[in-house]
Structure 1
């Protein structure tokens, strides 16, 4: 079977991802030390809970962040700080442009409802052509759990051999390959260009 579905990771592939930048931005916005932000929102397991579906929507995520941190500002300020780790990669966008419409595009990402709501609103051009946004909070599992890949395939309506998948995580790529996906490790835009020529 040909790889007729192109499936990309979000942070680290379609978008550049800088968690340290997000911690700094949140620390400034929340008026808390960086280490305290990390402890409250990541080391506590809160972010992982968001990714696996504990919170039904972005409003619940925002409410919990406010409970944990005491933040009293508006949603837009909170969304901007929370999503500040993600920046579209212009080179990836350029490489994808000639291929849009040639096959189904999907994202498959370990992220929660706040990212799903805010990122397409903030960067609509980056999501152009992506018919499926497979966020882990909707699948109930995170990569590299095989159950997450199985749930993604069911959403795509695809067989493993029909998927071309790129992720910056070696563990995620290895898991995909074990399940029969055609998978490549993404270290930069040239890897995407090569995979699309394969």
Structure 2
């Protein structure tokens, strides 16, 4: 399918529409750089956090780590308690692009690796997340990108034609997962590049 025939645009959220950095509250909770690096490498790791994106509850996640590191209980609980500090602002230019596409009648949805409860929290912090036609949240469906099944589920849920779908994500692995699912996809780095990528796919904004 010619790229100019894109009819569906799918946005990732974290680091595309909103900033995310777990270090932000932890510079206060664990001021020492080396200790903080150790904590993220050995306690609240990426692999631990991604399981909340897959649907594990925070209560279960915290209990697992506290059993292993009881001396770190306060810091472990701080990950969820201060999560709102990890998402301090939206990327205004990216949000403006998405809002412009919606205003012009483009079919816009979102596909995100996000824990179910923190996504509900995010919608109160960033009301523009309610503007697209819908969203697939990994923590609600028990699948995470780049699992092929989550792209298939999103396609079925929102009645998308894969070849007419353009996906925007900051993770190259997720971009490649979308392409493997038959979607077109671009790697997000900044809003200016996204504008150029959209234009290259025949999408004026």
Tell me the TM-score normalised to structure 1 length: 0.77
| CA 1:133–1:26: 2 relative to 1, 3 Å | farther
| Aligned positions of 1:44-193 closer than 5 A | 45-55=47-57, 61=58, 64-65=61-62, 68=66, 70-71=73-74, 81-86=82-87, 87-101=89-103, 102-124=105-127, 126-193=128-195
| Number of residue pairs the alignment of both structures matches | 184
Tell me the TM-score normalised to structure 2 length: 0.75
How far, CA to CA, are the matches of 2:93 and 2:85 in structure 1?
19
- Note if 1:20 corresponds to 2:11: no
Q: Deviations over 1:130-167 (max 9, x none)?
A: 22121111232211111121122122221211311111
How far, CA to CA, are the matches of 1:143 and 1:195 in structure 2?
22
| CA 1:24–1:106: 2 relative to 1, 3 Å | farther
How far, CA to CA, are the matches of 1:105 and 1:26 in structure 2?
38
Q: Deviations over 1:84-135 (max 9, x none)?
A: 33231011122233222412322211111132111111121x3142221211
Q: Unpaired runs of 5+ in structure 2?
A: 67-71
SS class of match (1:111)? coil
Q: Unpaired runs of 5+ in structure 1?
A: 56-60
The partner residue of 1:8 within 8, 11, 28 is 11
SS class of match (1:88)? coil
Q: Deviations over 1:68-89 (max 9, x none)?
A: 35449xx9x8767213332310
Equivalent in the alignment of 1:58: none
| CA 1:88–1:62: 2 relative to 1, 3 Å | farther
Question: For the aligned residues, what is the CA RMSD?
Answer: 2.8
Return the offset for 1:37. 4.6
8 Å contact 2:123–2:130 — kept in the other structure? no
